[in-house]
């Protein structure tokens, strides 16, 4: 059926779409194929997703979209309940909640919307768009599977029903879109990695929008009483996450005591007597992470530099960078640690069988095996992160200090510390709290563990006064006894 035959009617939604600029920008941005809108509670993200679902179905006739959330019950009771408040009922031709199917009337585009849970990968027809609500609950695999389903070719039509063609006569198809709305869940989550502008893994054609609960308050989405009620009962960490939309506060974080304002220093002057260690977590496609750690006479540990790069680079490449970093530090390396698995003879080149450790040695890097015990390593890191009220801060001189500090330019390490998390239990079965970390973006975390599990020795500071040659001569004169220097000669038996 042609667009002209459908007599597309004017769409009116029961919302003011201009109250919050961030929300408006998310809904009106058609430049980016993949868009995400996150932040605090009540910032209008779910409403924005509902509006986009209606618009993409109405203005692109015969389109097909999917609305999903991890749990189907929460999808129906929350996301789709909001959708049906926003979508004018006169637009709907067919609705089947059991099948998760919604069809618009022909005069409103005739498009379809499928909806359901995301406990398994979505299977079915090709899509023109999809939207995941509360996307922080969903695994990366589900997002990738939906991206793979964006294959529906929906021709764009003129008002007379004829397809739009470009200058060379090729039919023009509607763009496809992937949308996500969420509450932040840490820097290791795929949402941060794919969308955040500070992420080294940010993908092209991905755009992030964020707003706080306070922005929703200013826009009139919620009342001041609503916000004051949360402030009255939420602990500080919950306020940061659920009202301010912080990426660094979330459930399941392994190192919640790590804070940029406490553990990160802009300048770390290395003293000549400090010991400097090197710790390597080798990766092939995953990043190779190298940390240079200095230890002072008080047992404080400082990450003073890092190397972090993946993409299948050979050992020789990393060894060259390690040597260059050593030269720039200008300080001898006490010990180099390397993942113990790197001593396995699993590399083959013709008749030669060798290990990753052999490759490092052949390139002038001579490591020793690092201990690999994740639980013990996490315990050691936590001991260094805790603030000891009786410990003097090495920079401020104020009592109350941790033992682990990080140079501010070591951003890969900082991001891993802030995003390192426990495995999350899924499903309806009741389980004990998980006690193993996620095997994701943990390369610096492993290298730190190798280093701290060795219990590195702190240097002994020589506090004896340094004397000039003249002062040394004067000191020796004061203690000089000329009689003590007279050589005793043998006497008679009477002088004995």
**pLDDT (tens digit, 0 to 9) for every residue of the chain, 496 residues total?**
333 334 445 666 767 778 999 999 999 999 999 999 999 999 999 999 999 999 999 999 999 999 999 999 999 999 999 999 999 999 999 999 999 999 999 999 999 999 999 988 777 799 999 999 999 999 899 999 999 999 999 998 887 778 899 888 899 999 999 999 999 988 889 999 999 999 989 999 999 999 999 999 999 999 999 999 999 988 888 899 889 999 988 878 899 999 999 999 999 999 999 999 999 999 988 899 999 999 999 999 999 999 999 888 999 999 999 999 999 999 999 999 999 999 999 888 888 899 999 999 999 999 999 998 888 999 999 999 999 999 999 999 999 999 999 999 999 999 999 989 887 654 434 444 446 787 778 999 999 999 999 988 888 766 556 677 777 777 777 766 666 555 555 554 444 4
CB atoms closer than 10 angstroms to residue 103: 18
Q: Which residues on neighbouring strands pair with residue 208, listed in sequence order? A: 36
Residue 106 has φ and ψ, to the nearest 5°, of -55, -40
Q: Which residues on neighbouring strands pair with residue 177, listed in sequence order? A: 129
d(CA 37, CA 17): 15
Quick one: which H or E segment has residue 487? none
By residue count, the chain amounts to 496
Torsion region of 330: left, alpha or beta (phi above 0 gives left; psi -120 to 50 gives alpha)? left
Quick one: which H or E segment has residue 36? strand 34-39
Residue 322's nearest CA partner among 286, 281, 278 is 278
The token pair at 22 is: 């961030």
d(CA 266, CA 175): 45
pTM for the structure as a whole: 0.70
User: Do 283 and 293 meet the contact criterion of CB atoms below 8 Å apart?
Assistant: no
């Amino acid at each position: 059926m042609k667009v002209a035959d459908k007599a597309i009617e004017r769409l009116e939604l029961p919302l003011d779409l201009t109250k919050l600029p961030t929300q408006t920008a998310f809904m009106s941005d058609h430049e980016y194929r993949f868009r995400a809108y996150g932040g605090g509670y009540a910032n209008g993200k779910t409403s924005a997703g509902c509006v986009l679902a209606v618009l993409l179905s109405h203005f692109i006739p015969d389109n097909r979209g999917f609305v999903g959330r991890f749990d189907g019950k929460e999808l129906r009771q929350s996301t789709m309940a909001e959708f049906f408040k926003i979508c004018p009922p006169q637009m709907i031709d067919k609705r089947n909640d059991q099948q998760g199917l919604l069809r618009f009337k022909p005069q409103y585009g005739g498009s379809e919307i499928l909806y359901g849970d995301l406990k398994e990968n979505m299977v079915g027809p090709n899509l023109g768009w999809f939207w995941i609500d509360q996307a922080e609950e969903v695994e990366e695999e589900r997002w990738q599977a939906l991206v793979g389903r964006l294959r529906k070719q929906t021709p764009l039509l003129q008002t007379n029903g004829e397809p739009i063609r470009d200058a060379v006569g090729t039919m023009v198809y509607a763009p496809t879109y992937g949308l996500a709305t969420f509450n932040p869940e840490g820097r290791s989550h795929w949402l941060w990695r794919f969308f955040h502008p500070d992420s080294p893994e940010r993908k092209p054609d991905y755009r992030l929008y964020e707003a706080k609960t306070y922005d929703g308050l200013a826009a009139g989405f919620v009342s001041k009483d609503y916000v004051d009620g949360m402030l009255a009962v939420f602990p500080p960490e919950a306020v940061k996450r659920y009202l301010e939309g912080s990426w660094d506060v979330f459930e399941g974080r392994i190192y919640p005591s790590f804070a940029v304002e406490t553990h990160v220093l802009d300048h770390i002057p290395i003293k000549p007597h400090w010991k400097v260690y090197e710790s390597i977590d080798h990766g092939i496609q995953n990043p190779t992470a190298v940390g240079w750690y200095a230890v002072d006479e008080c047992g404080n540990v400082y990450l003073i530099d890092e190397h972090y790069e993946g993409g299948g680079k050979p050992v020789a490449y990393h060894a060259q960078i390690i040597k260059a970093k050593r030269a720039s530090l200008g300080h001898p390396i006490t010990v180099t640690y390397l993942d113990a698995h790197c001593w396995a003879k699993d590399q083959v080149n013709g008749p030669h069988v060798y290990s990753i450790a052999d490759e490092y040695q052949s390139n002038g890097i001579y490591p020793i095996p690092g201990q690999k015990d994740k639980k013990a390593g996490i315990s050691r890191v936590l001991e260094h992160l805790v603030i000891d009220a009786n410990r003097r801060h090495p920079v401020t001189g104020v009592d109350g200090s941790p033992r682990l500090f990080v140079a501010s330019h070591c951003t890969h390490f900082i991001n891993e510390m802030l995003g390192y998390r426990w495995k999350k239990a899924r499903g309806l079965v009741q389980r004990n709290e998980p006690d193993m970390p996620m095997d994701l973006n943990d390369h610096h975390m492993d290298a730190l563990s190798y280093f701290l599990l060795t219990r590195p020795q702190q240097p002994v500071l020589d506090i004896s006064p340094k004397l000039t040659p003249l002062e040394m001569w004067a000191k020796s004169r004061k203690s000089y006894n000329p009689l003590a220097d007279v050589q005793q000669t043998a006497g008679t038996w009477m002088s004995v």
